[in-house]
Every structure is written in C-alpha cells, then in structure tokens.
Structure 1
Amino acid sequence: MNQAESEKLLRQYYRISNTIVHFQNIPLSFDGTTPLRTASIHLIDMIGKHPEANLTELTDYLGVTKGAVSQMAKALEKKDIIRRVQSDDNNKNIRFELCEEGQRIYDGHEKYHEELYGKLNNLMDSYTVEGLASIEKFLDQIEESMLDYKSKV
C-alpha cells in the first residue's frame, strides 16, 4: 500500500471514530422515551441484561469507574428510570432495576441494535472468512496502537 492509500484509509478510520464520538454526545430517544446519552443508555442496557449485578459488576461490564456508574445511576434514579434495590442477602450489596421508563429505553435500545447489527451482518455476509479475518486483525492492530499511544500521553 502506498502512502496516499494509507492516508486515505486512516482518514476514513478517523471519520468513523469521530462519528462514534459525535453520537455518544447526542441524547437519543427511542419512540418517545426520555432522551439520554449513550453512556446512560449502556448502563440501562447492562441493568436490563444483568438484573442481579451489583455496582462493582456493572463497572466491570461497562469498563468505567464506580464513580461514573454512581453518578449516572443517581441521575437515572432522579428521572425514575432505574431504582436502587438492596440485595436480600447483604444490605451493603446494592443492585439496580429498571422502572417502566427504563424498560421502555432498554427495549428501544435492543430494537435499535437488532436493526444496526442486522445491517452490519448483511454487509459482513458479502466477505469471505479470510477477508473478515483481515479486517479483525486490522482493527486489533488499530486498538493496540491506540492503547499504546494512550499510555504515552
């Protein structure tokens, strides 16, 4: 690959990355639900998928700090989207459950992902196993490069 082709591919990668960042900052609504940013929607998603998970487990699933999950949870509780529940076996062990609006958001997010992943799966069906393996390897290498760069700044 020559320099111009390489630069074109990297520009495309950065455009995709910037689009993802842009979407993370725009509040989303699913069929009239409370508009929320992606991080809060993903917390709702994890609570819906793992209803027995405590705060520590949710942070592990999301890859964020306990403080971040606590702040998001407080904001979602104020909006009556989730509620805090003490576990029966341990009063210190707090978990969360979805309120009615939280369930609507969870369901809307699931439907959104089904549509998105359906489109992506259709695209991937046009590639050979070897082609997909090359794409996966390339994405892994980008991720490694980004993590390496992050560790240096």
Structure 2
Amino acid sequence: MKNYENIIKLYFSSMKLFEEIEKTPKDFGTGDLLYGSEIHTIVAIGENPGSNMTELAGIMDITKGGVQKFVKKLLAKDLIYKTQLPDNKKEVIYGLTKKGNIAYKMHETFEQKRFGKIYEIMDAMEEKEFRVLEGFLTELNAILSAGN
C-alpha cells in the first residue's frame, strides 16, 4: 500500500534540513561567516567573472535588489571587487578578490563533503529510477508553485 503522507513528510523534512544548512553561516576559509545567499553570490561570480548586476540576478534567479544586497555585504568583507568597463563607465562588473577565490574553492570542497553521498545514491540509481525521481520532483515543484 502506498503511503502518500510518508513521502510528503520525508520531502518536507529534507527541505527543512536544506533550509537549516542555508541559514547557518559558515567560514569558507577566510575568517568570515557567510550565509548561503552570500556564498552562492560568490559562486555565481566565480563561475561567471565579469558579470554585471542584471546578469547575476538572472544566474541566481533573484531580483537585482537581492543581488545588490549580497554584493554590498561581500564588498564590505573584501570577498569581491567591482570595476567599470573601459568603454562603458556606467556598467559595473564584479569579480572575486584573492579572499573571495579562497571561499569559492572551499565552497566546492564543502559541497562535495555535504552532498557527495547524495550524488553517490543518485549515481547508483538506474536511469529509469533517476528519471522517475526527477519527474516527480519537477511535477511537485510545478504544483507547489501554482499554489502561490
């Protein structure tokens, strides 16, 4: 017999645990405590150097105001820098400082340590099982998003 309530309970329990990971600040080797939103901004800049505010908002799927808030904090912590393009003084782009690069690389190590076992479980799945899980989560997100 299918236990729908248990599946939903497990899903929301895992989401709550992910939320705890995100809202607990961590030191990624720089002496600064960084929240999930801050380290994800560093990752977005590290993976897309020379991005402007609009591009970062698109990459991170948040508003420009959200990016601006995180950028301001990261500038104050000397984890990122901003500069203007030589041919366009209005356009501001962002990059990682030496300290920011340390956090960026340490985050990669953190991700492997934290999520490595999850990746191992997914690697062990048959392709069909993986597609069922992916399809279920995609549909679940669509249903939950439609409720807003």
| TM-score with structure 1 setting the length | 0.90
Q: Which amino acid aligns with 2:142?
A: E
- 1:1-153 mapped onto 2 (5 Å cutoff): 1-2=1-2, 5-31=3-29, 33-150=31-148
SS at structure 2 position matched to 1:23: helix
CA deviation vs aligned residue, 1:97-142 (integer Å, no higher than 9, x gap): 1112211110101222233454333212221111111101111111
RMSD, aligned α-carbons = 1.5
Maintained 8 Å contact 2:83/2:93: yes
Maintained 8 Å contact 2:83/2:92: yes
Structure 1: unaligned runs, 5 residues or longer: none
**Which region of structure 1 is more displaced relative to structure 2, 114-123 or 21-30?**
114-123
Runs of 4+, deviation exceeding 6 Å? none
CA deviation vs aligned residue, 1:18-70 (integer Å, no higher than 9, x gap): 11112211101124541110001000001111112111000000011111111
**Which region of structure 1 is more displaced relative to structure 2, 37-46 or 98-107?**
98-107
Maintained 8 Å contact 1:56/1:66: yes
Q: Flag the 1:104–1:128 CA change in 2: closer, same or farther, 3 A.
A: same
Structure 2: unaligned runs, 5 residues or longer: none
Q: Which amino acid aligns with 1:122?
A: E
Maintained 8 Å contact 2:45/2:95: yes
**Which region of structure 1 is more displaced relative to structure 2, 41-50 or 114-123?**
114-123
Identity %: 28
Q: Which amino acid aligns with 1:137?
A: G
Q: Number of aligned residue pairs: give it.
A: 148
Maintained 8 Å contact 1:54/1:95: yes
Q: Which amino acid aligns with 1:72?
A: F
Give the Cα–Cα distance (whole angstroms) in 1 for the partners of residues 31 and 43 of structure 2: 14
Q: Which amino acid aligns with 1:100?
A: K
Give the Cα–Cα distance (whole angstroms) in 2 for the partners of residues 62 and 96 of structure 1: 14
